[in-house]
A and B are shown apart, each in its own frame.
Chain A
Amino acid sequence: MNRFLSQERLPVLITSVVAIAMFLIAGFKYDNFLTLRVFFNLFSDNAFLGIVAVGLTFVILTGGIDLSVGSMVGCSSIMLATLIRDSQVAPPLAVGIVLAFGCLIGLTQGFLIARFELQPFLVTLAGLFLCRGIALRISQQSVQIDHPLFDQWASFSIALPQKSSLSFAALLLFLVVGIGWYLSRLRPFGRAIYAIGGNRQSAELMGVPVRKTLIGAYVISGICAALGGVVFTLYTQSGNAVSGTGLELDAIAAVVIGGTLLRGGYGSVPGSLLGVCVLGIVQTAITFDGTLSSWWTKIVIGVLLLGFLLLQRWIESAALSRRALAPSGTN
């Protein structure tokens, strides 16, 4: 029994192999693709998506889902921008307020889901509508931020060879992935998340604080989504109520590609980062190609995702059946 090829690691392994293969293939096809710059851009450009996906991973691991993350990004982005520009709130405080708001929404959703056993899909769908409504209520115009400290954050980056660099957002992404990994692996909270995803009734009977843990998962997701909004605001130095539309689907796709099962219980935080990279590579490759019309772009993304999922499924079933056969090798 190979622990290394456990149900948790295998998909991550497959995803990384395929991701590297894709990167190399695109590298041979397009000039300037196989560069550090393109590689590090993956993290800088997808930092907000990655941060949102990390939060969402916790929720999905419990067997739930959070559809509100995309609107939350838009909501926190416009909120942050108006706070800084119109209310003259200092950026650190404004970020704090926005994160608190994300926390509040997550708390409310988590409470409804955990306390009243409402279905996560519906509660967070309502959250999606609500956050977008609030965002549009705050301002329908996009809001430019012009604040020296904020500018400083936005333009901070670590220069790396080949004209590449890692932005503040990318560093934040790595930090969030690190914290997420720590929480899920090394804290009892993380184990409780997995246990609930494995079997909620059992977890309850085993004395796992199911409600608290569930609420915790949605709070993390809410905070991560709000932080994603902050990073998005850094990325564009402006707030926009409609940003993040449909982002929840990208985030779900990233989490799933990263090997987390939507029914909960299996998966990992670093896997989701990998999923984000896969999406980023596909997108970058399509841009480098630059010949696809609008509709072919959609079709090609769909087909690539399909191929990816089928490949993942195929390798997984092959590996699992080999594992099942393994004991017979001894006799």
Chain B
Amino acid sequence: MKSMPSWIYALGALIFVLLFNAFATPGFFEINVLDGRLFGSVIDILNRVAPVALLSLGMTLVIATRGVDLSVGAVMAMSGAVAASLIARPEGNILLGLNFGDSVFLIVLAGLVTGLLCGLFNGLLVSRARIQPIVATLLLMVAGRGVAQLISDGQIITFSAPAFASIARGATLGMPNPFWIVVLFAAVILVLTRWTALGLFIESLGSNPIAARNVGINTGALLLFVYSVTGVCAGMAGMIAAADIQGADANNAGLYLELDAILAVSVGGTLLSGGRFSLVGTLIGAILMQTLTTTILTRGVAPELTLVVKALVVLAVCLLQSPTFLHMLRPKKVAA
């Protein structure tokens, strides 16, 4: 007996929202070609979802270990600020000592390394200092944005660097680059976790940390690994956000995105209590959340209703994932 995948309800909800749009939002599925790239609401969704999708890919692993990473939004701000500083090199910037010229490669690398360092910091706090993940990452959530503002001196660092901006604004094979970046990251993480034993180890650790240690799993290193992956993902997301507006907004980049990422993960069927995880589910969850957002934006719904709609969708998907609830819905068997 094969059980249904945990993300089936997220997929159902996604199809529902898309159907709604097909009937209620004119032109939602229209796709045009403009300058050799596809252009339309659906493409927008796949483009806009990139930062949250990246965050939630990493977040999936962290959540599978019973953790949570609240700092990803702040990490986005930091990596964006680092990248923008290296490109724009504004006067008095504390990163003026580093000159990477126009090398997009080195600048992206610097952003990723920023994310990696943050991830390692979180990982050390969780695995070494044994601080509970919510609190440990809360520290960087608060302080990290401070660091980002420190780097950018509280200003939006704007730049004009077409090569770097193409990370977010360019297109390859008709699809926007952020889409491909997500595909790349998802593929790498999928291979890392499912073609090696890391996935099993992560699920074991999340399922029973004591038992995991007792069977010789290096839990400390594993925690470092998952938080680092999340950090790197957040670093990339930060650069997409910066490239998108050709500027690093330390105050607002990634603000509250950690919540969206957590929602995407759990709507995608990974339990916050750790253990089993599903990367595919996470991607579906992220796309669902973004489809909702895009729908709401396109239809010009009042912002406070956006919050309410989000809340209701989350609750609906959660309820549908609850075995108890489904059991209640099912008609009672008549006792013989």
Direct contact of A and B (CB under 8 A): yes
Residues of A in contact with B (beta carbons under 8 Å apart): 65, 112, 115-119, 121-123, 125-130, 132-137, 140, 249, 252-253, 256, 261-263, 293-299, 301-303, 305-306, 309-310, 313
Q: Which of B131-156 contact A (CB under 8 A)?
A: 131-132, 134-136, 138-150, 154
Let me know if B24 is at the binding interface, CB within 8 A.
no
Assess A119 versus B134: contact at CB under 8 Å? Given A125-B263, A136-B303, A310-B129: no
Report the nearest A residue to B326, measured CB to CB: A116
**B149 close to A294 (CB less than 8 A):** yes
Let me know if B305 is at the binding interface, CB within 8 A.
yes
**A256 close to B307 (CB less than 8 A):** no
Let me know if B3 is at the binding interface, CB within 8 A.
no
Q: Which residues of A contact B150 (CB under 8 A)?
A: 295-296, 299
**B135 close to A252 (CB less than 8 A):** yes
Q: Which residues of A contact B262 (CB under 8 A)?
A: 121, 125
**A297 close to B315 (CB less than 8 A):** no
**B132 close to A130 (CB less than 8 A):** no
Nearest-neighbour CB distance to chain A for B117, whole angstroms, equals 15
Proximity bits, B254-274, A CB within 8 Å = 1, else 0: 000001001100100001110
Nearest-neighbour CB distance to chain B for A271, whole angstroms, equals 14
Q: Which residues of A contact B154 (CB under 8 A)?
A: 293-295
**A262 close to B322 (CB less than 8 A):** no
Complex Cα gap A119–B6 (Å): 15
**B135 close to A133 (CB less than 8 A):** no
**A306 close to B139 (CB less than 8 A):** yes
Report the nearest B residue to A261, measured CB to CB: B132
Proximity bits, B295-311, A CB within 8 Å = 1, else 0: 00000000111111011
- Pick the contact of B310 from A129, A136, A262, A298 — CB < 8 Å? A129
Q: Which residues of A contact B323 (CB under 8 A)?
A: 117
Counted as pairs of residues, one from A and one from B, with CB atoms less than 8 Å apart, the total is: 135
Let me know if B130 is at the binding interface, CB within 8 A.
yes
Report the nearest A residue to B146, measured CB to CB: A298
Assess A123 versus B147: contact at CB under 8 Å? Given A129-B307, A253-B135, A298-B142: no
Report the nearest B residue to A298, measured CB to CB: B146
Residues of B in contact with A (beta carbons under 8 Å apart): 68, 70, 125, 129-132, 134-136, 138-150, 154, 259, 262-263, 266, 271-273, 303-308, 310-312, 314-315, 318-319, 322-325
Complex Cα gap A13–B83 (Å): 45
**A116 close to B325 (CB less than 8 A):** yes
Nearest-neighbour CB distance to chain A for B271, whole angstroms, equals 7
Nearest-neighbour CB distance to chain B for A47, whole angstroms, equals 23
**B319 close to A116 (CB less than 8 A):** yes
Nearest-neighbour CB distance to chain A for B285, whole angstroms, equals 11
Complex Cα gap A265–B303 (Å): 39
Report the nearest B residue to A71, measured CB to CB: B307
Nearest-neighbour CB distance to chain B for A297, whole angstroms, equals 7
- Pick the contact of B311 from A118, A133, A262, A297 — CB < 8 Å? A133
Nearest-neighbour CB distance to chain A for B153, whole angstroms, equals 9
**A299 close to B134 (CB less than 8 A):** no
Q: Which residues of B contact A310 (CB under 8 A)?
A: 129, 131
Nearest-neighbour CB distance to chain A for B251, whole angstroms, equals 9
**A122 close to B272 (CB less than 8 A):** yes
**A122 close to B266 (CB less than 8 A):** yes
With A116-B324, A126-B318, A298-B146 known, 15 other A-B pairs at CB within 8 A are A115-B324, A116-B318, A117-B322, A118-B315, A119-B272, A122-B272, A122-B314, A125-B262, A130-B312, A249-B141, A252-B134, A262-B134, A303-B143, A305-B138, A309-B136
Q: Which residues of B contact A249 (CB under 8 A)?
A: 70, 138, 141
Assess A298 versus B149: contact at CB under 8 Å? Given A125-B262, A136-B303: yes
Complex Cα gap A302–B70 (Å): 14
**A302 close to B146 (CB less than 8 A):** yes
Complex Cα gap A127–B304 (Å): 13
Complex Cα gap A38–B273 (Å): 42
Most buried by B among A112, A295, A299: A295
Q: Which residues of B contact A132 (CB under 8 A)?
A: 304, 307
Nearest-neighbour CB distance to chain B for A112, whole angstroms, equals 7
**B263 close to A299 (CB less than 8 A):** no
Nearest-neighbour CB distance to chain A for B118, whole angstroms, equals 12
Nearest-neighbour CB distance to chain B for A91, whole angstroms, equals 26
**A133 close to B266 (CB less than 8 A):** no
**A263 close to B132 (CB less than 8 A):** yes
Assess A119 versus B304: contact at CB under 8 Å? Given A125-B263, A298-B146, A298-B149: no
Q: Which residues of A contact B318 (CB under 8 A)?
A: 112, 116, 118-119, 122-123, 126
- Pick the contact of B266 from A119, A127, A263, A305 — CB < 8 Å? A119
Nearest-neighbour CB distance to chain A for B146, whole angstroms, equals 3
Most buried by A among B70, B314, B315, B322: B315
Complex Cα gap A305–B319 (Å): 37
**B135 close to A262 (CB less than 8 A):** yes
A selection of 12 A-B contacts at a CB cut-off of 8 Å is A112-B318, A112-B319, A115-B324, A118-B318, A126-B314, A129-B308, A129-B314, A136-B304, A256-B135, A297-B146, A298-B145, A302-B146
Q: Which residues of A contact B138 (CB under 8 A)?
A: 249, 252-253, 305
Report the nearest A residue to B273, measured CB to CB: A119
Complex Cα gap A86–B273 (Å): 45
Report the nearest A residue to B267, measured CB to CB: A122
Complex Cα gap A119–B143 (Å): 28
Instruction: Sort A-B residue pairs by CB-CB distance and give the 7 closest, nearest first.
Output: A302-B143, A298-B146, A136-B304, A133-B307, A295-B149, A129-B311, A133-B308
Nearest-neighbour CB distance to chain B for A189, whole angstroms, equals 24
Q: Which residues of B contact A136 (CB under 8 A)?
A: 303-304, 307
Complex Cα gap A269–B130 (Å): 23
**A119 close to B271 (CB less than 8 A):** yes
